[in-house]
Amino acid sequence: MAKELEFLTKRSEDYSKWYNELVIKADLAEQSDVRGCMVIKPYGYAIWEKMQRTLDDMFKETGVQNAYFPLLIPKSFLSKEAEHVEGFAKECAVVTHYRLKTNDTHDGVVVDPAARLEEELIIRPTSETIIWNTFKNWIHSYRDLPLLVNQWCNVMRWEMRTRLFLRTSEFLWQEGHTAHATREEAEERAQMMLKVYAKFAEECMAVPVIQGVKSETERFAGALDTYTIEAMMQDGKALQSGTSHFLGQNFGKAFEVQFLNKDNQAEYAWATSWGVSTRLMGALIMTHSDDNGLVLPPALAPTQVVIIPIAKPEQLSAINEKAEALMAQLKALGISVKYDNADNKRPGFKFADYELKGIPVRLVLGARDLEKGLVEVMRRDTLEKENMPLEGLAEKVKALLDDIQKNIYEKARKFRDEHIYECDNYEEFKERVKDGGFFLCHWDGTAETEAQIKEETQATIRCVPFGVEQTPGVDMVSGKPAKARVLIARSY
């Protein structure tokens, strides 16, 4: 789409504005005319598709199968699990009628009052209720377990303040729902899926994450435990990037899902659920991108390499030929590549546009360089340029893509690690948390202290992190004894 290339606000000037502009200018998504709902544009959707494909394969490797459950949930289902209804009834889209009719002035349509539903239907904010209502008919014996199901779908939670990808009323996600014969097996599955998410975030998105368990206050409505992966954005704020819930027998009891165990005794099934959403797009963008635009990990870039010729019209056909050969070599190595020899845009415009779009590697075929057998290679992550021989270039580009994938992960990890602080003084915490960062602080385990921290600093307990050597201490707020340090940060 032909438009003048506009420059981005710098991150250092206004990080939030930079993000909003980048999402729009890189053609990832835009607000629709429907309050809080976004349009995911083709370029943004292509990245999401790559995420989906990778995650879907990872789920299937663990034995999960996809299925599809209804969009609409009867209102009464929500009330069956006491905590769940508290968490989700307050922000949902309610379908009350099933027909429109022509208005009296014959210039529009109005709701037909005769078509009122007996029971209102809710657009799913999450599907535990409708799925466990279905599982009731699928689960009779321990032989039917475990039941490992996932669905890719849209969900809706009515949000007052929305931001593209980070918080929208409608979003796309996957929600996994599993049923098990034992508590241990369900807990193991909930943790297994957290590890799948962490592996995906780190290896595919190149986003380092901290794994941990949520405090009671921050748990999913209806869960006994919520596990989370937390990523640090470049402004030092946390972004919860995926959660996996151990739901105990709450939904088994609410929907009467019982099975006969090996001793022929009836038991309630144990549950997990776990999800990641288009919010991951926000994490991806905010972890790697810079003032020139997107930086994409090669594993998720819809186009990994762009080739741009610089030549006089009479030189172009010779260069086209060399480009075709190079493209064939790159494609043979499984690399996605685009050749842009459009003559209605200047090279400088193209350079800026592909930087904005985050194409990992740019190759410039210049007539003069080519005479010497050389190609200019630029890597998007560092913006470094180097002349390389055309001979054997494809293999070098492949190695470069691997290097970029590793490099942006390492860069993000280093940034994250430099902004994790142990802190034992609440006054100091209150001051420093304004500048972002993750704080490891002793917590007395009470909801009161947690609420006070949130109230006074807008920071929340992100999780009790796994894999951190814990020593008992003193809660920095209450002065009471604390068993462990928790991760506290402001968050998206």
Apex CA 219: angle with CA 215 and CA 223, to 5°?
Answer: 125
CA distance 465 to 438: 11
**For a second copy, the closer CB: 12 or 265:** 265
CA distance 43 to 45: 5
Asked whether the beta carbons of 293 and 344 are under 8 A apart, the reply is: no
List of residues 6+ apart from 202 with CB closer than 8 A: 208, 209, 409
Of the candidate spans 68-76, 321-329, 396-404, 457-465, the one that interacts with a second copy by CB under 8 A turns out to be 68-76
- List the interface residues with a second copy, window 421-450 (CB under 8 A): none
For the chain, how big is the Rg over CA atoms in Å? Answer: 26
Q: How far is the CB of 115 from a second copy (least distance, A)?
A: 8
**For a second copy, the closer CB: 143 or 406:** 143
Estimate to the nearest angstrom the gap between the alpha carbon of 334 and the chain centroid: 25
51 binds a second copy (CB under 8 A): no
Q: How far is the CB of 296 from a second copy (least distance, A)?
A: 17
CA distance 128 to 133: 8
List of residues 6+ apart from 110 with CB closer than 8 A: 100, 101, 102, 103
List of residues 6+ apart from 303 with CB closer than 8 A: 336, 337, 338, 357, 359
Q: How far is the CB of 94 from a second copy (least distance, A)?
A: 4
- List the interface residues with a second copy, window 139-178 (CB under 8 A): 140-141, 143-144, 149, 153-154, 156, 158, 170, 172
Asked whether the beta carbons of 151 and 69 are under 8 A apart, the reply is: yes
Q: How far is the CB of 153 from a second copy (least distance, A)?
A: 7
Q: How far is the CB of 238 from a second copy (least distance, A)?
A: 27
Asked whether the beta carbons of 365 and 340 are under 8 A apart, the reply is: no
Q: How far is the CB of 379 from a second copy (least distance, A)?
A: 26
- List the interface residues with a second copy, window 102-141 (CB under 8 A): 102, 107-109, 111, 120-123, 130, 133-134, 137-138, 140-141
Asked whether the beta carbons of 290 and 18 are under 8 A apart, the reply is: no
Which residues make beta-bridge pairs with 211?
Answer: 229
Distances (CA, A) of 261 to 258, 264, 284, 291, 398: 9, 5, 44, 59, 53
384 binds a second copy (CB under 8 A): no
349 binds a second copy (CB under 8 A): no
CA distance 133 to 144: 16
Q: How far is the CB of 340 from a second copy (least distance, A)?
A: 14
- List the interface residues with a second copy, window 250-309 (CB under 8 A): none
Query: How do 100-102 and 109-111 pair as beta strands?
Result: antiparallel
Figure out which of the listed residues 6, 13, 14, 91 binds a second copy, where binding follows CB under 8 A.
91
331 binds a second copy (CB under 8 A): no
Of the candidate spans 65-73, 195-203, 206-214, 398-406, the one that interacts with a second copy by CB under 8 A turns out to be 65-73
325 binds a second copy (CB under 8 A): no
Asked whether the beta carbons of 165 and 23 are under 8 A apart, the reply is: yes
Count interface residues toward a second copy (CB under 8 A). 69
- List the interface residues with a second copy, window 16-35 (CB under 8 A): 30, 32-34
CA dihedral defined by 181, 274, 155, 301, rounded to 10 degrees? -140
Figure out which of the listed residues 14, 16, 63, 96 binds a second copy, where binding follows CB under 8 A.
96
**For a second copy, the closer CB: 15 or 45:** 45
334 binds a second copy (CB under 8 A): no
Q: How far is the CB of 348 from a second copy (least distance, A)?
A: 19
* Residues engaged in binding a second copy (CB under 8 A): 1-2, 30, 32-34, 37-42, 45-46, 49, 65-76, 78-79, 85, 89-102, 107-109, 111, 120-123, 130, 133-134, 137-138, 140-141, 143-144, 149, 153-154, 156, 158, 170, 172, 344
